[in-house]
Structure 1
Amino acid sequence: MIRFDGIFWRFKHPRSDNFPIRSTVWRQERSGLQFWGSRWLQKGQQRVRCPRCQLPGGDCGLRISDVREEDGGRYACKFQSGGQMITRWLVLRVIKVSFYPVAPVAGVHVSINCSVSPRPQGATVEWRLNNGSFAPSSGGSPPTPRWSLQEKASVRLAGEWMCVVASGGAQGRASAPLTVRGIVHPSRDATKVYAAVGSGATLPCIFSRGSTPAKPTWQKLQAGSLWSPASFSSSPPASQPAWDHSARLKETALEDEGTYRCGGVVEGRSLSRKVQLVVATIERSVTRKKTLTLTCQLTDTSEVTRYRWVRVTHDASGERRAESVQEGKSLRVSDVSRGDAGEWACRFFGARGLLGNITQGIGPPLDHASGSAGVSPSTAVALGVSALLLLLLLLLARMYKNHQRRKRIFQYTTLESILHARSKERKARDPSRAIKGT
């Protein structure tokens, strides 16, 4: 065990190879008195200390807090024991990740830099983004390691950047978060939103937090003009943040399907994102054997990989329970009875999981649930014959009524003729009476 009479740390900047070490970091004498260099003291707070420094034990490791880029360089630990001066050298390499501009707007070029002070000879660098490897867009094939990257800012570049430096079997790393201002949700164009007919739908358009876009607009890419149906609302409510300009449909219809585009201006740059609304509906058909067929239809099935039909029931407490029935786009229900009545849901899935669902209710019995399509052929024939007989009866009653009416008219005409004839006879017998009468 070495007994120290005194120990001190000194620092040599990597750019001062031709100059002697003059910067004292920390020193402690045998008496216990400590001294700090001026650059390591700020407002009475020491950035360096030896938390376990015991001169008799020989443990005097130096601890630096709030490490800075300029702290990188060579450090010398000197201690004196029995009149002999012993020196030990150490190198501190400080790795730093930086961006310029610090918070770029989507569409501008951003510089991503990794600096090492001092940089070792023959060192290699590897870039990682959100714990995954990153290949520069302008790199070679295979990409060559670079200390500085030039990329066009986009949402895909946002996240935690890490620079991994390797040299001589040793490895060091540093990381920093990059914020890209613009439309963060949806993160890519042609994002699909699924909605059932009759339900509400939200088309997302969320800018980065703190960004208030100028001239926010929504456009349906159909006729190339601004389009706003009666149920379409793009004005955010008062409780919604200024950077959230999502649009809402109160009640989705089939004609609402299509591609929409939201946009806005952030710091003079026009930003936009496309959102596709996919509308789902259920088609019903009934065969002569009273078999009900439900078919799940979507206006775009490019992302759909499978369908699952689920029957939704309610227990005594009113809690909903879903029971998986079968896989497939269509569901056939034979001999629909009161036991089969209720809610049937079609769930559709894609590579990223559940995309959406649509529910269809079936009421008992089948003929009430499906309207005229549920009437059997025999019932239809009976109803038709009954209607025809009723029509014939009404026609016969009408004919009889007209016949009786004509008979009454003929009787009154004959009586009038007899009276007229008698009047003529009186005039012929007594002409003077006829003249008086006139």
Structure 2
Amino acid sequence: MKSKLFIFVFLYLLKDVKSESVEVFAEVGSRAVLPCRSTPQTVSPAITWSNSKGSIWRMLGSGVRFWSSSWASRVRCPHTHFHLGDYSLEILGVRQEDGGSYFCLLELGQRRTLQVTEVTLRVVKVSISPAVPVIGQSVSIRCDVSGGEGPSEGEGPRGPTVRWMLNGRPYGSRRIRGVQNNELKVTASEKVTGNWTCLLNDGNADGRASGRLGVEGIIRPPGDGARVFAAVGVAVSLPCVFAEGLAPSDAFWERLPTESASERAAVKLPRAFSPPPSSVSSRDKSAALREVEFEDAGRYRCSASVQGQKTQRSLELVTVKVDVEVLSEDAVKLTCRLSDPSAVREYEWINATFDLDGMESTGSGQKGQSVNVSRTSGGRWTCRFYGKQGLLGNVTHDIYSMEGHRGATPAPVSRRMSHNAVLLLVGLFVVALVLLLVLIQMYRNQLRSKKAFRFLALETVLHAGSVERELKERSPVPK
């Protein structure tokens, strides 16, 4: 303050000296430029930068330069701008204690003072307390401004206006007047995580600073609404992993109703759902589906209690399968079907064939959600689907197993199978009829043999008579 008072008394005595006052905002850790501009001179003036603690940077008219030992590594005054009359000072890696008043003194010769510029540096920092809260905990967010006395730290209408932004979007609709009243109180949740930015304006200068709010709790999946893609018939894991050092209790999984259903309607978990085993670590509460069905698609939520606060995270399971449509006896149409295709931007089909030695040969990819395939081509067809960030997942279909595919049996094959079944039934009927006749004949012979043993004498007489008649019929008649 004594140095500042001395300079203003000096300016009052030297009425021809030009003076000005400037205010600058700078974020902690950034580069601050303290302006000092004058009319370009044919001869370079002597430049002195100082603050209330003493000299910071100085250059004589001869070009000799001096640095304060405490500022040597953090300040510079680029000489490339001197011919333009720009003698601004740059401070690298601004610290909170750098806030305050700085003075730029320009002199020609030993007794002529050209200009004195006062620069008030306001250092801005976003403070978040606690730094990493648990979900559900109260959080305080402040925009701290340091830099000595002045309008920026005044109260009421003299202070600057403060606006808050969250992840690049305005938070709230009102502007706060004065840095003493800019504190925000929020409840830690996924909705308030990200970059908080305070914007300052005092009519002459603008400033901004940012701070990141992270919330402890479930770290995987990283946020609500994450998608997990799974092919029908395979197993899939539903992640629910808490941050290191946390010991969640009373963890449970639930299946959320669809948007069209009532929020109160209970939705049962799939039959193949498997809760987290007790053998996993205390912070891993991931569940699994042993065998995914297409109808298992939907939203699932993992919940647990952490430090007395309920923590939960929801995800969406997207199921994938290949639909088969018969075009003719020799061609079928394969379609990659997702329960929710909103995130998909591109489909690609890859055909892989195998020789007798088991060697795989991969053909070129075909774009599109559907592909027409010749039944004679065979092999394995893989549908890959891509989103904004790259590959999302894939599903495969073996062309040889097409006949066994649910709801996709080709019509000509069905008719051929029906015809063969009829022939088989007719053949079985004929065989059964022949066997029946044989059994009847065997039964008759058995009865005949029983009767012959019962009336042996009668059978002998009848047989003799028969033989005699046969001989008479064969012998010639005498003339």
Q: TM-score scaled by structure 1?
A: 0.66
Q: Deviations along 1:125-159, whole A, 9 cap, x unmatched?
A: 444444x2x222xx33xx43575333332234333
SS in 2 for 1:93: strand
Q: Distance in 2 between matches of 1:61 and 1:196?
A: 63
Q: Distance in 1 between matches of 2:240 and 2:325?
A: 39
Name the aligned partner's letter for residue 365 of structure 2.
E
User: Are residues 1:264 and 2:293 paired?
Assistant: no
Q: Deviations along 1:281-329, whole A, 9 cap, x unmatched?
A: 334465885654545555x44747788572423599846445226545x
1:17 match: none
Displacement after TM superposition at 1:195 (Å)? 1.1
Q: Of the candidates 293, 317, 324, which is equivalent to residue 366 of structure 2?
A: 324
Q: Quick one: structure 1 residues 374 and 275, their matched pair in 2 at CA, closer, same or farther if it must change by over 3 Å?
A: farther
Residue correspondences, number: 383
Query: Is the 8 Å Cα contact of residues 7 and 28 (structure 1) preserved in structure 2?
Result: yes
Q: Of the candidates 358, 361, 366, which is equivalent to residue 398 of structure 2?
A: 361
SS in 2 for 1:164: strand
Displacement after TM superposition at 1:362 (Å)? 0.7
SS in 2 for 1:165: strand
Displacement after TM superposition at 1:237 (Å)? 8.1
SS in 1 for 2:136: coil
1:214 match: 248
Q: Of the candidates 54, 61, 82, which is equivalent to residue 110 of structure 2?
A: 82
Displacement after TM superposition at 1:256 (Å)? 4.3
Comparing 400-409 and 301-310, the one that deviates more: 301-310
Q: Distance in 2 between matches of 1:53 and 1:304?
A: 51
Name the aligned partner's letter for residue 362 of structure 1.
I
Q: Distance in 2 between matches of 1:62 and 1:351?
A: 45
Q: Deviations along 1:312-364, whole A, 9 cap, x unmatched?
A: 23599846445226545xx6657x32xx3123345567788865442211129
Q: Distance in 1 between matches of 2:328 and 2:50?
A: 96
Any gaps of 5 or more consecutive residues in structure 1?
A: 12-22, 37-44, 422-438
SS in 1 for 2:448: helix
2:199 match: 164
Name the aligned partner's letter for residue 10 of structure 1.
N
Query: Is the 8 Å Cα contact of residues 326 and 410 (structure 2) preserved in structure 1?
Result: no
Q: Quick one: structure 1 residues 71 and 380, their matched pair in 2 at CA, closer, same or farther if it must change by over 3 Å?
A: closer
Q: Distance in 1 between matches of 2:201 and 2:225?
A: 40
Query: Is the 8 Å Cα contact of residues 311 and 325 (structure 1) preserved in structure 2?
Result: no
Q: Deviations along 1:22-64, whole A, 9 cap, x unmatched?
A: x43558899x99897xxxxxxxx7246766699xx99997665
Q: Deviations along 1:59-96, whole A, 9 cap, x unmatched?
A: 99766566433432212356886367785422212111
Query: Is the 8 Å Cα contact of residues 52 and 60 (structure 1) preserved in structure 2?
Result: yes
2:274 match: 232
SS in 1 for 2:365: strand
User: Are residues 1:112 and 2:147 paired?
Assistant: no
Displacement after TM superposition at 1:410 (Å)? 2.0
Q: Of the candidates 178, 194, 200, which is equivalent to residue 229 of structure 2?
A: 194
Name the aligned partner's letter for residue 397 of structure 1.
L
Query: Is the 8 Å Cα contact of residues 25 and 48 (structure 1) preserved in structure 2?
Result: no
Q: Distance in 1 between matches of 2:254 and 2:198?
A: 43
Q: Distance in 2 between matches of 1:100 and 1:171?
A: 25
Q: Distance in 2 between matches of 1:219 and 1:376?
A: 44
Displacement after TM superposition at 1:3 (Å)? 7.4
1:430 match: none
Name the aligned partner's letter for residue 381 of structure 1.
H
User: Are residues 1:46 and 2:70 paired?
Assistant: yes
Name the aligned partner's letter for residue 312 of structure 2.
S
Query: Is the 8 Å Cα contact of residues 97 and 176 (structure 1) preserved in structure 2?
Result: yes
Query: Is the 8 Å Cα contact of residues 351 and 365 (structure 2) preserved in structure 1?
Result: yes
Q: Distance in 1 between matches of 2:404 and 2:313?
A: 46
Q: Quick one: structure 1 residues 212 and 373, their matched pair in 2 at CA, closer, same or farther if it must change by over 3 Å?
A: farther
Displacement after TM superposition at 1:383 (Å)? 5.0
Displacement after TM superposition at 1:269 (Å)? 0.9
Name the aligned partner's letter for residue 246 of structure 2.
T
2:349 match: 310
Comparing 89-98 and 388-397, the one that deviates more: 388-397
Displacement after TM superposition at 1:377 (Å)? 3.1
Query: Is the 8 Å Cα contact of residues 333 and 373 (structure 2) preserved in structure 1?
Result: yes
Displacement after TM superposition at 1:113 (Å)? 1.9
Q: Quick one: structure 1 residues 29 and 323, their matched pair in 2 at CA, closer, same or farther if it must change by over 3 Å?
A: closer
Q: Distance in 1 between matches of 2:456 and 2:57?
A: 156
CA RMSD of aligned residues (A): 4.9
2:319 match: 279
Q: Distance in 1 between matches of 2:48 and 2:329?
A: 100
SS in 2 for 1:103: coil
Displacement after TM superposition at 1:270 (Å)? 1.0
Q: Distance in 2 between matches of 1:234 and 1:228?
A: 15
1:393 match: 431
SS in 1 for 2:133: coil
SS in 1 for 2:145: strand
Displacement after TM superposition at 1:388 (Å)? 0.8
SS in 1 for 2:216: coil
Q: Distance in 2 between matches of 1:29 and 1:123?
A: 35
Q: Distance in 2 between matches of 1:35 and 1:292?
A: 81
SS in 1 for 2:50: strand
Q: Quick one: structure 1 residues 261 and 394, their matched pair in 2 at CA, closer, same or farther if it must change by over 3 Å?
A: same
Displacement after TM superposition at 1:419 (Å)? 7.5
User: Are residues 1:407 and 2:432 paired?
Assistant: no
1:144 match: 175
SS in 1 for 2:170: coil
1:384 match: 422
Q: Quick one: structure 1 residues 290 and 218, their matched pair in 2 at CA, closer, same or farther if it must change by over 3 Å?
A: farther
Map residues 10-89 of structure 1 onto 2, 5 A cutoff.
Answer: 10-11=51-52, 23-24=53-54, 26=56, 46-47=70-71, 67-77=94-104, 82=110, 87-89=116-118
Q: TM-score scaled by structure 2?
A: 0.62
Q: Quick one: structure 1 residues 90 and 204, their matched pair in 2 at CA, closer, same or farther if it must change by over 3 Å?
A: same
Q: Of the candidates 105, 121, 126, which is equivalent to residue 92 of structure 1?
A: 121
